[in-house]
Chain A
Amino acid sequence: MSATRTLTPAMKLRRKAKVRRNILYLVLLAIALVAPFVAYPVFLMKLLCFALFACAFNLLLGYAGLLSFGHAAFLATGGYFTGIMLASYPGLTPELGILIGTLASVVLGTLFGALAIRRQGIYFAMVTLALSQMMFFFFIQAPFTGGEDGLHGVPRGELFGIISLDNNINMYYFVLAVFLIGFAIIRRAVHSPYGQVLRAIRENEPRAVSLGYNVDAYKLVAFVLSAGLAGLAGSTKTVVFQLASLTDAHWHMSGEVILMTLLGGVGTLFGPLVGAGVVVSLQTQLAQSPLGNWVSVILGAIFVICVLSFRSGIVGEIQKVVKKNFK
């Protein structure tokens, strides 16, 4: 029938936006595929791991409105479990090791999430921070984490038992695949009816309750999803660097992921990616410069500036400009 083929102007606009978005995705993918031949692959892998970490965090803060100050616990749990598994069972392939690390984070996320969602707002942040500090002390004292030294020499192994990950280019494409899977999960969750309900809870929790939604269940699923993906990032990072250390469990790490998300743009899909890119590059650059000792001061200053006058973040500001000029 011809009637179904006529498009209203609104549909045309939407279709145009979709085409534009797909082109953007393809361009970004092309850049990601070429990148290891242009830039240092290990740096890119670090960036992708932190980007996935920040995207996972953003799912919670940006879409559910829950500020977790303890996401380092999930990054570290994933990292340590994967590291211990791969180091103690030489036959284990890396993808299985990463799966085990991720599952460990999911379990921890379920426990912490169930506790933390019993309080709201500022208390939620304090509870998550305290719980992750508890994990930090656990990792220091546990006999299997290597204490202050951390776990070293975790083998990268062979993917599916076939592809050697000791080759940095192979490793890079594997990390890219992990990132894309994680990103796709987040994108799917955000654009689903589930994501809509999450946003409704963020905007007005009592209203969501009165509409009959089981708010706690929605929050818990978001928390577990976010913790699991953070664990996935940590597990992958351990395989890349062949190392799991206390730095990942420290509360500074929880602060850093907040900064990445805030700087890139809270509640935007690409914000955490951009934020992670800026923060990781900055840290790498500063570490080699005479300003190396001032990293924490500079990060603190960026924090203050972001909160005072740059709350939409980089991607948020770009979106504002695009909306103003291309409609």
Chain B
Amino acid sequence: MTMIFGVPLMVFMGQLMLGLINGAFYALLSLGLAVIFGLLKIINFAHGAMYMLGAFAALLGLQYLGLNYWAALLVVPLVVGGLGMLIERFILRRIAHLDHLYGLLLTFGLALIFEGSLTNFFGVSGSSYPTPEALQGGVNLGFMFLPIYRGWVLIAALAVCLATWFIIERTRLGAYLRAGTENPALMQAFGVNVPQLITLTYGFGVALAAFAGVLAAPLYPVSPTMGSSLLIVVFAVVVIGGMGSIIGAVITGLAMGLIEGLTKVYYPEAANTVIFVVMVVVLMLRPAGLFGKEA
């Protein structure tokens, strides 16, 4: 059997694939954070909770409404995104004129509320979501065994990242968004409804998190705390990449997933911390982040 630095090729590729999947989630979540940060200038601490709500909505939809996976993939981001828009319209907007650290604190409070409530009803142990029938099983690629669902997650996540890039960089709405990031007051003077744009942006960022949640449901145990631990890693990813560019967020997310996967193969004790270590190194060498502009 082929070995790579003393590790069987199959094992090596399998871990790399797992890392890439994690990286896809980092990419999706940090993308949403970056989109929200661009216009609202706040870090959405509730992002992990929204990801968790996405997974729970898929699970509960299946159990109580018979909503299948494909419908959930479409409906759940819309519903959770709608919830996000309500949060922006009725809560975040009231503190928009304050120091942006208040936004962080407020969304942290919201995250505690969502996480705590669901913990009371469902406990912390987590339930599993069945893999949709069409995506069960796997294929042997010769050098590795690829479960179809994992391949699908990777493709779907990358497609959504690409679509987000397209919307923001190549459409009129995206042009408004970028202009709003630069100078919202001037935009408003030109007759663009900036408050509405902000609401939509927050809703969109949250919808991305919820979409990631639905994708994650068949992979990881669906539990109320699934979002918060992930979010802290995503924060480190955001610090590493900087929030300046979409492509940067996606590349950093995937790269960090890969590094994590490699660490799991060669030095499993450090797998939990390797991304934080990378963050430390980046802070020492390039404080603004790999793709960031000094803010």
Residues of A within 8 A of B (CB): 67, 115, 118-123, 125-127, 129-131, 133-134, 137-138, 141, 251, 255, 258, 262, 293-297, 299-304, 306-308, 311
Contacts and interface: CB of A to CB of B under 8 A. Distances in A.
B269 A141 contact: yes
Nearest to A122: B43
19 contacts: A118-B287, A119-B287, A122-B101, A123-B295, A125-B101, A126-B43, A126-B235, A127-B283, A129-B232, A130-B279, A134-B273, A137-B273, A255-B112, A293-B120, A296-B119, A297-B113, A300-B113, A304-B110, A308-B95
B170 interface: no
Question: For this complex, into which size category does the number of interface residues on chain B fall?
Answer: 35 or more
Given A119-B239, A134-B276, A296 B105 contact: no
A51 B98 CA distance: 27
Nearest to A112: B280
Interface in B80-134: 91, 94-95, 98, 100-102, 104-106, 108-113, 115-117, 119-120
Contacts, number: 114
Contacts of B272: 137, 141
A300 B116 contact: yes
A131 B101 CA distance: 19
A199 to B, nearest CB: 15
B42 interface: yes
Interface of B: 37, 42-43, 91, 94-95, 98, 100-102, 104-106, 108-113, 115-117, 119-120, 228, 232-233, 235-236, 238-239, 269, 272-273, 276-277, 279-280, 283-284, 287, 295
Given A137-B272, A297-B116, A304 B239 contact: no
B164 to A, nearest CB: 21
A302 B108 CA distance: 11
A294 B120 contact: yes
B223 to A, nearest CB: 14
A307 B95 contact: yes
Given A122-B42, A126-B235, A129-B235, A294 B101 contact: no
Contact of A126 (B119, B120, B238): B238
Nearest to B288: A119
Which 10 A/B pairs are nearest by Cβ-Cβ distance?
A: A303-B109, A300-B112, A296-B116, A297-B116, A300-B113, A134-B276, A130-B236, A118-B287, A304-B109, A126-B235
